[in-house]
Chains A and B, each alone.
Chain A
Amino acid sequence: MTKLTEHFQHGLDAPICLTWELTYACNLSCVHCLSSSGRRDPRELSTEECKAVIDEMQRLQVFYVNIGGGEPTIRPDFWELVEYAVRHQVGVKFSTNGVRITPERARWLAGTDYVDVQLSLDGATAEVNDHVRGPGSFETTMRAMENLRDAGFRDFKISVVMTRHNVGQLDDFKRIANTYGAQLRITRLRPSGRGADTWDELHPTADQQLRLYEWLLDNGDNVLTGDSFFHLNALGSTPLPGLNLCGAGRVVCLIDPIGDVYACPFAIHDEFLAGNVRDEGGFTSVWRTSELFARLRTPQTGGACTSCSAYDSCQGGCMAAKFFTGLPLDGPDPECVKGNGERALALVGAEKPKPDKDHSHRGRKRVPVAISWGPPAPDQLPDRACDTSPLAGFRP
C-alpha cells in the first residue's frame, strides 16, 4: 500500500488545512507578523464574497478553516461569518490577540459548537511578549484568557512563536496553559512578512533548537506544533509527532483578505501566488488547476541536501524560510541543524528576495492603537502564529 505521505505529496482534492486571513487590518504591529498586517486593504472580500467562499468550502468538504489576519475580530461582520461557517459544516478556529474577547463574547463562544479560539502570546511575561507584540498586548491577551476561562471555554489554544527570548520560558507557557484550562501550541518563527526584518535577531540559536527539540520529545504529546518543527528531526533518531512534510500547495494553502491564494501562510509573495478566489472557477479551480500547485505536487529534489544523512528526516526543511533568506528552494533550511544553513547564508548576496506585500501601519512601530473600524483606518489583530499544520491534532 502506498504510504499516506506519498499521497499527500501528490496533493489532495481539497486542502486539509486551510488558513484564511480575513483582513490585513490590525491593532498591533508585531515585529514578526507573517502578513505585514496593519492597514485594511480596500480590496478586501465583502461579506457576500466571504460567504461564497464558505459555500465552496462546504462543497469541497474542507471540514474546518483557520481564520487569522490581521486581527480578524475587528471586521464588523466577523461573528456573522463565524456563525455562517459553522452553520455550513465548516468549523472555525480563529487566531486573535484577544482584543475583542469580552466576557459577553467569551460566553457566546463557549456556547457555540465548532468554534475554537487561538490566542497569540509570544512571551510568558509582559516584558518578553510586548517586545515582539507591542506595549499592552500581554495584558490584553491575558484578560481574554481570563474571560474564556470564566465563561467555561475549555481547551482554547495559546499559540506561541518560538524566539530567542522565549525558548527558555517553555515550562512557563505550559504552566499558563494549564492554569487556564488551555492547550499550548508552539510554532516556528519564519522570516516572512515583517519577520524578514527581525528574523536574524529573533530566531532561536542552535543551542536553543536542541533544547526545543528535547523539550518537544518530553512534552510533545500534549503540545500542538502546527507540525512546524520537522527540520529539527535531524537532531535525533526520534521523529517528532506530525506529518513531517512540507504541505504547501499539497494539503495546505492560504487565502488572503483580497482573495489571493498562496501556497502557505508563510509564503505571501508573488512567487507563491496560485490565483484568486474571484477568478472564474473560484477557489476550487485554483486549488485543482493552478500551475504553481501542480509544480509543488511533483517530486521535489533535495539538491545539495540529497547526500545528507538527515535528509529523510528533515526533507530539506521549510520552503518559505529558505525563500525569504535567499537560499535556493532545493538547498538547506536556514536553521539546518547540521549547520549547512548558516554556511549557505554566508554566501547569500544582496539579491535576497524581499516580501512584496506590505500592509504595515505607516510611520509607527510596535505601538498599539485604539480600536475602531472603518475605512480608511485599519485595525487590529496580530499575527496568527502558524496555521499550517497539515496534521495538527490528526492521527494518521
Chain B
Amino acid sequence: MSTSRRFEPGRPYRLRSSVALRPEPFGALAYDFTTRKLSFLKTQLLVDVVRELENQPDAHSALSAANVPEHERARYLDALAGLESAGTIEARGEA
C-alpha cells in the first residue's frame, strides 16, 4: 500500500485490489471501493495494459504484452505513473 515510492517500470504492479474496472466505449471506468474515487482509463489500450500488469513481471512487460507501439511507450509509462500516484494500481510481490 506504500505510495511513497515512485513508480518504477521495472517492478511488478497490479490493479489495486479495491478497484474495479467497468468497460466503456472509450476505455474503462475505474472505481475504488475504499476511497470512493472514480477515475477514467481513456483508451482501450491503457485498459489492456492495466489488466496485463498482474500477469507480467514488470510494467515494461505489460506494455509489450498489450502491444503498445514503440513510439507510444513513454506516454503509457507516464499514464501508469499517474495511476500509481492516484492509487489505481499498486506495487505487488515484494513486501
A residues at B contact (CB < 8 Å): 1-2, 4, 7, 10, 12-14, 16, 61, 63-64, 89, 91, 113-114, 116, 391, 393-396
What A residues does B39 contact at CB under 8 A?
Answer: 394-396
Decide: B42 and A4 in contact? CB cutoff 8 A: yes
Given A394-B38, A394-B39, A396-B40, A7:B33 Cβ within 8 A: no
Decide: B38 and A16 in contact? CB cutoff 8 A: yes
Prevailing SS type, chain A contact patch = loop
Q: Choose one: B23, B33, B36; the contact of A393 (CB below 8 Å).
A: B36
Q: How many B residues have CB within 8 A of the partner chain?
A: 17
B residues at A contact (CB < 8 Å): 20, 22-26, 29, 31, 33, 36-40, 42-43, 86
Closest 10 CB pairs of A and B: A63-B31, A61-B22, A394-B38, A7-B26, A12-B24, A395-B39, A13-B24, A4-B40, A396-B40, A393-B37
Decide: B37 and A4 in contact? CB cutoff 8 A: no
Q: Choose one: A2, A4, A14, A63; the contact of B33 (CB below 8 Å).
A: A63
Determine the distance from Cα of A251 to Cα of B24 in the docked complex, in whole angstroms: 12
What A residues does B26 contact at CB under 8 A?
Answer: 2, 4, 7
A114 and chain B: residue at smallest CB distance? B33
Decide: B25 and A13 in contact? CB cutoff 8 A: yes
* Most central of B20, B22, B29, B38 by chain A CB within 10 Å: B38
What A residues does B23 contact at CB under 8 A?
Answer: 13
Report A37 CB to chain B, min CB distance, Å. 26
What A residues does B33 contact at CB under 8 A?
Answer: 63, 89, 91, 113-114
B31 and chain A: residue at smallest CB distance? A63
